[in-house]
Structure 1
Amino acid sequence: MRAAFPREARLLAPPQFRAVFADGEKFVSRGFVLIAARSPSGRSRLGLALAKRRIRRSVDRNRVKRVTRESFRQHQNLSCPVDIVVLARSHTSHMTNAELFDQLAVIWSKIAASKTLRQP
């Protein structure tokens, strides 16, 4: 089985990111800030905005991106289609992959349980 992250599952254009920032609900953990908004596309999509100021080394940024994409891929069948923008906090680069997966799993469940995102 191929584990894919297709183009349709990504936020790509600046207007898509702006729409999430404008209408989104914020979910915070020790390592991440996720902003989620209902998706007009009918499927869940992910956008990554990992600032160099927060995670200095590119290898660390890329590792966090890989973990985030994989976690999203495993949990993308949320209760309703949402667009999600992921922002990393400063100490995210010092966390292990297991810690990142655990924090993201908690946030995915919070997003799935959110009443404001499920309402039409």
Structure 2
Amino acid sequence: MEHDFGFSPELRLRKPAEYRNVFDNPVKSSDQYFTLLAKKNSFDHPRLGLAIAKKNIKKAVCRNIIKRTVRESFRIQQGLGNVDIVVLARRDAVDVPLELLRKSLEKHWLKLVTRCASYS
């Protein structure tokens, strides 16, 4: 089976209501770099939302690097199932190598998939 590694609009959370839905009673996964909130959705694919606060990460360049890293990790991580995920970055995510952020995200994806599967 051939995988499509694109990040098409249907793989994104876009409306405030979609974000609000995830923020209400989510399954959480946290470490020193990220907090991920997840909730089952009614689609047959995962969707990603980013909430990278200017308060935590001051420079736009840093915020954009983190967003790109999260999106790339999400695209590569096929088979997440039908979950909506919102990624929040913490201050510590700024000055670490990208490889460390990728490893952190991989752990979060696995943790969330298993938790969401047992949650519902």
Deviations 1:34-63 (A, max 9, x none): 000001222100000000010000000000
Counterpart of 1:84 in structure 2 is 85
User: SS at 1:23's partner residue?
Assistant: coil
Equivalent residues in 2 for 1:17-56, closer than 5 Å: 17-56=19-58
Counterpart of 1:68 in structure 2 is 70
User: SS at 1:94's partner residue?
Assistant: coil
Q: Following TM superposition, where does structure 1 have runs of at least 4 consecutive aligned residues deviating by more than 2 angstroms?
A: none
Q: Distance between the aligned counterparts of 1:76 and 1:93, measured in 2?
A: 26
User: TM-score scaled to structure 2, two decimals?
Assistant: 0.91
Query: Residue type matched to 2:37 in 1?
Result: I
Q: CA RMSD in A?
A: 1.5
Identity %: 38
Counterpart of 2:59 in structure 1 is 57
In structure 1, runs of 5+ residues without a counterpart are none
Q: Cα distance, 1:3 vs. partner? A: 3.9
Do 1:27 and 1:33's aligned partners in 2 also have CA atoms closer than 8 Å? yes
Deviations 1:61-91 (A, max 9, x none): 000000000000111412x310000000111
In structure 2, runs of 5+ residues without a counterpart are none
Do 2:69 and 2:98's aligned partners in 1 also have CA atoms closer than 8 Å? yes
User: SS at 2:58's partner residue?
Assistant: coil
Counterpart of 2:117 in structure 1 is 118
